[in-house]
Amino acid sequence: MFLNRSAVGSDHFTATVSIRQRQFAVNDFGTGYSSLSYLRQFPIDVLKIDQSFIHQIAADPEVSSIVSAIIHMGKSLKHLVIAEGIETREQRTYLQTQRCTEGRGYLFSRPLAAAQFAHLLQMGIAETVVH
């Protein structure tokens, strides 16, 4: 389940989260209304780093420091950290050096229809698309 900004402020959402045994992710972490307080208020399992940060890793040392901090904070809290919008080998390499092992983006594959993805799975090459 992914948390969006409108759902997080809802009392109904908070009650639902405490009842269900699911995996919860914060989308676009570091942008807009996503907040460090979410990490204490909700049973978060996954932090997804917004692609706007990933796109600027190579060009802006401050952004790469922020990305590094998000990765290390997420790992220390035992969250899965996923980088979104990986488009270059340089971005992938930087994320790997920071021990961010999960990501998605055009470097790996453009969005696929279900049938296309199933075909890749059957051929045994979906590993590069998924990771």
CATH no. for residue 34?
3.20.20.450
Could you give the number of structural domains in the chain?
1
Q: pLDDT at position 34, please?
A: 56
The upper half-sphere exposure of residue 73, i.e. CA atoms within 13 Å in the direction of its Cβ, equals 16
Q: Write out residues in the chain with pLDDT < 70, as ranges.
A: 1-23, 28, 30-35, 125-131
CB 13, CB 26: distance < 8 Å: no
Would you say 28 and 8 are in contact if contact means Cβ atoms under 8 Å apart?
A: no
* Cross-strand pairs, 102: 82
Could you give the CA distance from residue 9 to residue 126 in angstroms, rounded to a whole number? 37
Q: What is the pLDDT of residues 96-107, one digit of tens each?
A: 999 999 999 999
pLDDT value, residue 59: 95
Cα gap 90→113, rounded to integer Å: 27
**Which range of residues forms the domain containing residue 38?**
2-130
Residue 84 has a pLDDT of 95
For residue 44 the two structure tokens come to 């978060």
Strands, E, within the chain: which ranges?
2-3, 25-29, 46-49, 80-84, 102-104
Name the residue among 44, 36, 88, 89 with its Cα closest to residue 66. Answer: 36
Question: Which of 30, 36, 108, 92 minimizes the C-alpha distance to 62?
Answer: 30
Largest Cα separation within the chain, whole Å, is 46
